[in-house]
Structure 1
Amino acid sequence: MLNKTSLLKKPKPLFSILYCLLILFCSHCAFRPSGTLSHYDSYFPHESNTNPIPKGKIRTTFLGTTSILLDDGETQILTDGFFSRPSLWKTAFSKIESNPSTVQSVIDKAKIERLKAIFVCHSHYDHVMDAPLVAKQTQAKLFGSSSTLNVGLGAGLNQKQMEKFQPGKPIQIGKFTITVLESKHTPPFRIFGKTNATDPNHPNIESPLIPPVKATDYIEGGTFDFFIQHGKNKILIKSSTNFVEGALDKAKVDVLFLGIAQLSLQPIPFQEKFYEQTVQTTKPKLLIPIHWDNFFKPLSVPLEPNLQLGDDFESNMKYILKRTQDDKVEVQLLQGFETIDLF
């Protein structure tokens, strides 16, 4: 026979059902895109230039996240080259590594045929994981921090095919001159109680990282921007949503590739300072947002905004568009594999 106490402890069926439904609803919302691309349709060129590149011109192809291909018809350079894009489930609960067939398919589709250098902005997996394999398959040289070079060594890349870059020292690749500038990673965040903040006791990848490994084994190892000159034209590629105050004071550019991930999740004073230290300081004619797409989905399908779980693409874009409209800066978005001539 049940006593009164046991009856009180017995779960109420209706409450349990409602609770489960609430959890499912919240989970469903968290894993939805954090914005609707059709709202920004007018900012996409919806065309890819396939004609030969005119002499002196620079063509760019967006390959998702912060992977940007620059091509002057003679030489190609690439940032990051993250093409495998393992699923959220695999990234969270398994070990990850480059997918050779996926990487090769992107190389073929993007017509990466004259690649001479790969520059990695920092050593989290969504930037560096595929860089050694891209270097192997194209014979390009890998440039990065000591952490990036340890990822290269772990993947079996020859030491002669890698070079540790020195911030402030120009690197000549064909007619491109690349100067590496010290920067900062997007401020740390927490998802399900876990943070992506760098452990101050282990800020770098200190030995060869042999895949497959956990995503968390890819330690930041410093974050960098790339100031690129080609003749009279100047480009800045800023992959992370953060800044070093005054670092860009002398970097006036024509085109700014700007990482906007989690911008609107930061305090208003940070947003204002970030815009001032990037867009208002470099004074670009054209701004191309990057690091806005959900990199758990493959490049073989159209890019979608980052998940609501950790970003707000809609608010990020509204902020950027409002500020750039006031400053008369053109903004253009690019889909995966979309190609435009910058100059």
Structure 2
Amino acid sequence: MPENHLDRRRLLRDAAAGAALVTVGGLAAATGPAAPARAAAPTPAPAPRRTGAVSFRWWGTSGWRIDIGDRTVLVDPYLSRYDTGLFTGKFNQETPLTVAEEVLGRYVDRASTILVTHTHWDHFNDVPRIAQRTGARVVGTLTAYHLGLAYGLPVGQLSPVKGGEVLQFGDHSVEVVGSLHSRNASYSMAFPGVRVTPPARPETIADLPEGDTLAYQVRIADGPTVFFMGASDFVERDLTGLAPDVAMVALQSSTATADYVPRLMAALDHPKVVVPVHWDNFETPLVNPPTVAPADRDRLNALVAAVRAASPRTRVLVPEYGTAYRF
């Protein structure tokens, strides 16, 4: 895809700043006191410039590898992809947490930052080990912070956030967005709950609760602004004004969330590109074409159709594993 350098929020902000600069105050009235001298506004620092190419690789579920020059950002990296019975009707919540060291060694040669949307096993399972191997900073909820401590990660490598933070990492920034987890057909979810203190080291998938949910917007200097979801619900008011160029949108797990796609597209100001995520069978290897359960294939097709109906000018890209996309 062609490079897209449009940044609508920055454009609006700069326009507002320009309007303010041309408003010049007049002289004080002859009968009034002299106006105090004002210091000149400081010259803003130049925006960081990016060096090197940018690429986005889908790692299944809501996982991404983003290479920005010599930096690598990971979002919800879950590569071990072991069997819990979830896709065969034999779900076992006592399934032991497992890390596929060989797979991690094959895919993860480096990482500078790991963004965690929430702490269910299919999002957090591999995060502590990747952080140990690479020294990457882990950004996530307070639950992610306490779970990181339980795995032995140092405090200085863990960055607890709650939504609203904008973190600068040289040639890119990360805006943390408060969000919500998906609801199942019973209007509930698997393994709700938070960790307010470091627990014992987790042993089973049930030991990794949802722990609150976040979304992230990555803004790349001289590059696209990209929004990442890890679950299919959201706080509409928290998305207003983000206006990303590209949105990684999670597949609905049920119809419990009202008007999911139309509200999401409107809140995000109709992104130029939408990439559906979290639609594959994440208990199978990362081999193309991705394995999709029949019900999830139907939901994926419905999501694509709903995006096209709600946002006709938006391009929908259904990704493959490991393919380098450039927006």
TM score, norm. by length of structure 1: 0.72
Counterparts of 1:132-211 in structure 2 under 5 Å? Answer: 132-189=128-185, 196=190, 198=192, 202-204=193-195, 206-211=197-202
Q: Which runs of 5+ in 2 are unaligned?
A: 2-49
Amino acid at match of 1:121: T
Contact 1:321 1:331 in 2 (8 A): no
Question: CA shift at 1:231, angstroms?
Answer: 2.4
Whole-Å Cα distance in 2 between the matches of residues 82 and 317 of structure 1? 24
Amino acid at match of 1:253: P
Percent identical = 21
Contact 1:184 1:244 in 2 (8 A): yes
Amino acid at match of 1:140: A
SS at match of 1:312: helix
Question: CA shift at 1:196, angstroms?
Answer: 1.1
Counterparts of 1:63-74 in structure 2 under 5 Å? Answer: 63-74=59-70
Higher relative contact order (CA 8 A, sep 6+): 1
Amino acid at match of 1:95: P
Query: Per-residue CA shift, 1:93-147, capped at 9, x if unaligned?
Result: 532232222221222xxxx43x210010001111111111111111211111121
Please list every run of at least 4 consecutive aligned residues from structure 1 whose deviation after the TM superposition is greater than 4 angstroms: 54-57
Which of the residues 237, 252, 255 maps onto 1:266?
255
Amino acid at match of 2:190: N
SS at match of 2:112: strand
Whole-Å Cα distance in 1 between the matches of residues 172 and 200 of structure 2? 30
Name the Cα RMSD after superposition: 2.5
Which of the residues 190, 194, 207 maps onto 1:217?
207
Question: CA shift at 1:216, angstroms?
Answer: 1.4
Structure number having the greater helix percentage: 1
Counterparts of 1:319-334 in structure 2 under 5 Å? Answer: 319-324=303-308, 327-334=312-319
Residue equivalent to 2:235: 244
SS at match of 1:336: coil
Contact 1:116 1:173 in 2 (8 A): no
TM score, norm. by length of structure 2: 0.75
Q: Which runs of 5+ in 1 are unaligned?
A: 1-44, 46-53
Counterparts of 1:1-343 in structure 2 under 5 Å? Answer: 55=51, 57-89=53-85, 92=92, 93-107=94-108, 112-113=109-110, 115-189=111-185, 196=190, 198=192, 202-204=193-195, 206-211=197-202, 213-231=203-221, 233-262=224-253, 265-267=254-256, 270-272=257-259, 274-282=260-268, 283-300=270-287, 302-305=289-292, 307=293, 311-324=295-308, 327-342=312-327
Question: CA shift at 1:301, angstroms?
Answer: 6.1
- Number of residue pairs the alignment of both structures matches: 270
Question: CA shift at 1:185, angstroms?
Answer: 0.2
Residue equivalent to 1:20: none
Whole-Å Cα distance in 1 between the matches of residues 166 and 142 of structure 2? 18
SS at match of 2:233: coil
Deviation larger for 274-283 or 214-223: 274-283
Whole-Å Cα distance in 2 between the matches of residues 169 and 60 of structure 1? 23
Amino acid at match of 2:320: Q
Query: Per-residue CA shift, 1:59-115, capped at 9, x if unaligned?
Result: 1011111111111222211111111111124972532232222221222xxxx43x2
